[in-house]
């Protein structure tokens, strides 16, 4: 399948993933036999256009986080290619990959675990600048970090504080400040609001949106909160057991889902309205009885909407 087919945009994709697979296990055991192979990501292809948000949804174990990590080569893919602005960057050495690392960043789910407790949050945000030799002199570095703090809605006077002095939402803002420090074009956001309090989630979603509008960022937004995905994303890919079973414009996926798994997933979202909830009957979908076949391919439905065939 060609990359252009999967993207409704006519522009060159910023990031393109082609037939990406990640298999864990499968090695020979010392005493005969093989370790059972798990296809965490199985022949996954998609594009992300500049300034676009692609949502990646699926149940736990569907391979959505692994896809994000392999895309950034935090783990080596088993097979397949990752293209950045048309350049194949798969398997590049650390030093050759370094310039691309600037452009592609990640934000993790747990804002508590991803901060260094012994580093002031200012130092934490400045660290990538130092790594890439972009900090400049002391006052320039200070100004840049202060600017980043303002951009994510944090008071620059907080720079000298330590992570334990911050709430979950503030910590996620610190993580976001670090992720945008190098002026990236693409961010993988792996469940960035899941661990946050409900009253804080909208703040962070709005921040993601503002930063995209201001900096032209593209996101791969991995989440299981489908109503937030619907709100935020331009396109959505639905994963099931390592495969993309459906991908397309957000409206097409939510208004006209074609794959039975997508349909089951959408029917299961709890709606905060007692009148709707009382009559809702979620569809049952047994994954084990409906495993996508190895030979199935994504079939075009028009308008950039694809569904995995039988």
Helix, strand, coil shares of the chain, percent, nearest 5, are 35, 25, 40
Using the rule CB under 8 A, which residue among 31, 138, 278, 295 binds other proteins? Answer: 278
Pick the closer one to other proteins by CB: 137 or 199.
199
Three-state SS annotation for 46-113: EEECCCCEEEEECCCCCCHHHHHHHHCCCCCCCEEEEEECCEECCCCCHHHHHHHHHHEEEECCCCCC
Report how far apart, in Å, the C-alpha atoms of 8 and of each of 59, 87, 245, 304 are. Answer: 26, 20, 18, 5
Pick the closer one to other proteins by CB: 72 or 207.
207
Q: Which stretch binds other proteins (CB under 8 A): 33-41, 96-104, 128-136, 220-228?
A: 220-228
Using the rule CB under 8 A, which residue among 30, 199, 294, 295 binds other proteins? Answer: 199
Residue 48 binding other proteins, by CB under 8 A:
no
Asked if 228 and 198 count as a contact pair (C-beta separation under 8 A), the reply is: no
* Beta-strand runs (E) in the chain: 15-24, 38-48, 53-57, 79-84, 87-88, 104-107, 186-190, 218-222, 235-240, 243-249, 298-302, 305-308
Using the rule CB under 8 A, which residue among 121, 174, 201, 243 binds other proteins? Answer: 201
* 3-class DSSP assignment, residue 298: strand
Residue 55 binding other proteins, by CB under 8 A:
no
Pick the closer one to other proteins by CB: 185 or 250.
250
Residue 268 binding other proteins, by CB under 8 A:
yes
Q: Among residue numbers 25 through 44, which ones bind other proteins (CB under 8 A)?
A: none
CA dihedral sign of residues 90, 94, 95, 99: positive
Using the rule CB under 8 A, which residue among 88, 160, 280, 297 binds other proteins? Answer: 280
Residue 231 binding other proteins, by CB under 8 A:
yes
Q: Which stretch binds other proteins (CB under 8 A): 33-41, 107-115, 204-212, 292-300?
A: 204-212
* 3-class DSSP assignment, residue 268: coil
Q: At what angle do helices 198-215 and 168-179 cross, to 10 degrees?
A: 20
Residue 232 binding other proteins, by CB under 8 A:
yes
Give, rounded to a whole angstrom, the gap between the first and last alpha carbons of the chain.
17
Residue 267 binding other proteins, by CB under 8 A:
yes
Using the rule CB under 8 A, which residue among 275, 289, 294, 302 binds other proteins? Answer: 275
Residue 285 binding other proteins, by CB under 8 A:
yes
217: its two tokens: 């960022």
Residue 253 binding other proteins, by CB under 8 A:
no
Q: Which stretch binds other proteins (CB under 8 A): 102-110, 116-124, 267-275, 300-308?
A: 267-275
For the CB of residue 286, give the shortest distance to other proteins in the complex, in Å: 10
Using the rule CB under 8 A, which residue among 10, 32, 76, 273 binds other proteins? Answer: 273
Q: Which stretch binds other proteins (CB under 8 A): 9-17, 95-103, 117-125, 263-271?
A: 263-271
80: its two tokens: 């397949």
Phi-psi region of 4 (alpha: psi -120 to 50; beta: other; left: phi over 0): alpha
- Which residues of this chain interact with other proteins, rule CB under 8 A? 59-60, 167-170, 197-203, 205-206, 209, 224, 226-228, 230-232, 250, 264-265, 267-278, 280, 282, 284-285
């Amino acid at each position: 399948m060609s990359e252009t087919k999967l993207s409704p945009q006519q522009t060159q994709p910023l990031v393109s993933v082609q037939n990406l697979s990640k298999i864990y296990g499968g090695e020979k055991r010392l005493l005969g036999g093989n370790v059972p192979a798990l296809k965490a990501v199985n022949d996954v292809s998609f594009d992300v256009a500049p300034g676009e948000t692609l949502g990646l949804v699926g149940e736990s174990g569907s391979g959505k986080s692994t896809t994000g990590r392999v895309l950034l080569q935090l783990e080596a893919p088993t097979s397949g290619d990752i293209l950045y602005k048309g350049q194949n960057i798969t398997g590049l050495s650390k030093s050759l990959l370094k310039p691309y690392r600037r452009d592609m960043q990640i934000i993790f789910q747990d804002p508590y675990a991803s901060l260094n407790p012994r580093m002031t949050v200012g130092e934490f945000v400045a660290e990538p600048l130092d790594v890439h030799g972009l900090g400049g002199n002391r006052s320039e570095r200070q100004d840049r970090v202060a600017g980043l703090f303002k951009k994510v809605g944090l008071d620059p006077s907080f720079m000298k504080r330590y992570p334990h002095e911050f709430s979950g939402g503030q910590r996620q803002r610190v993580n976001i400040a670090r992720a945008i420090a190098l002026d990236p074009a693409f961010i993988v956001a792996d469940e960035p609001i899941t661990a946050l309090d409900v009253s804080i989630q909208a703040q962070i979603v709005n921040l993601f949106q503002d930063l995209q509008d201001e900096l032209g960022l593209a996101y791969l937004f991995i989440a299981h909160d489908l109503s937030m995905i619907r709100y935020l994303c331009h396109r959505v890919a639905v994963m099931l057991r390592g495969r993309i079973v459906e991908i397309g414009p957000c409206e097409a996926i939510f208004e006209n889902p074609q794959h039975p798994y997508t349909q089951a997933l959408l029917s299961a979202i709890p709606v905060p309205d007692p009148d709707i909830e009382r009559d809702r009957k979620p569809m049952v979908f047994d994954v084990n009885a409906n495993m996508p076949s190895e030979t199935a391919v994504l079939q075009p439905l028009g308008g950039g909407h694809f569904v995995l065939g039988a």
